[in-house]
Each structure stands twice: as structure tokens, then as C-alpha cells.
Amino acid sequence: MEEDYGFSDFKIKRTPSVTEKKVTSTRRPSTASSYARNAGGTSSVTGTLSRSVARVIKRRKHVVLLGLDGSGKTTILMRLKYDAKLDTTPTVGFNHEKIRAGGFRWSAWDVGGGERVRSLWATYTRGTDGVVFVVDASANADTMEEARLELARIMKVQLLAKAIAIEMGRTPPPLLVMANFQDRKQARSAPAIAKCLSLPVEGQAPPSGAVPVSCWAVACVCAVTGDGLDEAFATLRHLIDNGATQPAKRKKIPGEWWR
């Protein structure tokens, strides 16, 4: 003896046991999904999955890597993604990878640093949680000045984004400068990089042409070996979560950085 429940989208047949009583229902679910919901199945499973996905998305932060061509942005991204030094070519457009660094998940965008691509930088900073500006710590004075001008330009664009973020009750994205290629003898220290880029220092008069940014840090890293990258992203995550409101706690962050 078989019973046909006659669902609209598919049929379920079963053979009842001898002792089972036949139950007649005047209300039948019209679809398999509604049947499962009535049984307490998919609603609880779907809800659990949705909450899990939401937690993962909430934990993952969006970050954009900017900097002049040849500063090592793509090498940094590939090092974090594959934990290896990979041969890279100059980025014409952008690269995107989901990575883990500093104990956190990141959605990272590496944007090309060529002159023709720099006009697109502002587009990639919209809605980002943090801005990473990569510089070649061993570059000559002219290249450092070019980097300073480009950083100042993109940070001026961020002033408008900052005003919008504050209006919406959001924390403006902080700036992390990565002083790359620390394996080279002529590489500058974090304080020297901050001075070259005219970053404002708390308690001091802003230098001429100071970059308009209030929450920033400089981290010394090496994309070739991977040294300092985890510490740098841990610093960035701390700045994202706490801003410039907890300087005492920020001093406990591992890695060399200067504010």
C-alpha cells in the first residue's frame, strides 16, 4: 500500500508500517520548501547558514593597496596569498585577492601605480575600510617626492569621503604606509618615511604641504621575505577598529611603526 501526497512540484511516496495509523490532513504544503519549513527543517538550517555567512562577511575588511609603480604592491599581495615570492609584472588595472594577514580576513584590491591608472585610485577607495600606501623605502628623493604628491592628492579626495562617513556614523578609513624593501641597505626607517611624506605628527606643527590625514601609521615591511607584513596588517586592523582614540593600546601592537 502506498500513499501519494501529491505535492505540486514533486511526489513523495512511502510505505506505512503495519501499526501506523493513516492520518488525513485537509491542509497540505504546496511546495517542498514549505513542507520543510512546516517540519522545522530548512528554516533553521538556512537561518544558521545566513548568520554564519554574515559573521564571516562582517569580519572580513576591505582594503585597497595604492602606490607608485614598482613599489611592491603586487608582490605584497602575492606573498600574503601564496606565502611565496612570485614573479610579477606591472599591474595595468587591478588585482583582487581574499587573504589572511595579521590574524584577520581581508578583501584586498591592488591597483596599478602607473601614471595613467592613478586617476582611478579614488574609485577604489570608496567604501573601503583602510587605505594602504606602499612606498619603496630605498627610493631616491625625487621618487619619494612623487609619492608624497600622489598620497596628498588621494588623501584630499578622502576628506570628502571622511565627511560622508562621519555623516553616516561610520569611522573614516585610516591610512597605513608600508615602507617596503627593508632588505636593502639604503632603506629608510619609519620616522624617515613619515617625514618624507609630510605626515602630520601629534603635538607638532604640521609641515609644509602636510598630507591631510589624522589616523595613520607607518610599518616597515619586506615583500620579498614577508617580514613585517602580518604585524602591519594587525596594526591596520587595530586602527580600523579603534581609530585614533586609544593611543595607549596602540603602543602594544607588535612590529615597527611610528605615529
Is there a domain that residue 56 lies in? no
Annotated binding site for Mg(2+): 74, 91
Q: How much is the pLDDT for 214?
A: 73
Is there a domain that residue 82 lies in? yes
Tens-digit pLDDT profile for residues 123-156: 888 878 999 999 999 999 999 999 999 999 888 8
Is there a domain that residue 187 lies in? yes
Q: How much is the pLDDT for 47?
A: 54
Annotated binding site: 67-74, 91, 113, 180-183
Q: How much is the pLDDT for 213?
A: 76
142 CA to centre of own chain: 30
SS (H, E, C) 105-124: EEEEEEECCCCCCHHHHHHH
Give the integer Cα–Cα distance in Å for 207 and 91: 33
Annotated binding site for GTP: 67-74, 113, 180-183
Handedness of CA 161, 163, 168, 171 (dihedral sign): positive
Q: Please state the rounded mean pLDDT for residues 43-72.
A: 69
The grid coordinates listed for 106 are 581581508
Is there a domain that residue 145 lies in? yes
Q: How much is the pLDDT for 23?
A: 45
Tens-digit pLDDT profile for residues 62-94: 999 999 999 999 999 999 999 888 777 777 778
Is there a domain that residue 209 lies in? yes
Q: Where are the beta strands (DSSP E) in 117-222?
A: 130-136, 175-180, 216-220
Q: Please state the rounded mean pLDDT for residues 150-169.
A: 73
Residues facing 134 on adjacent strands:
178
Residue 122, domain extent = 62-242
Q: How much is the pLDDT for 228?
A: 95
Q: How many domains, the chain?
A: 1
The answer to whether the pTM exceeds 0.85 is no
What CATH number is attached to the domain comprising 76? 3.40.50.300
Is there a domain that residue 255 lies in? no
Is there a domain that residue 28 lies in? no
Task: Kindly report the average pLDDT of the chain as a whole number.
Answer: 76
Is there a domain that residue 10 lies in? no
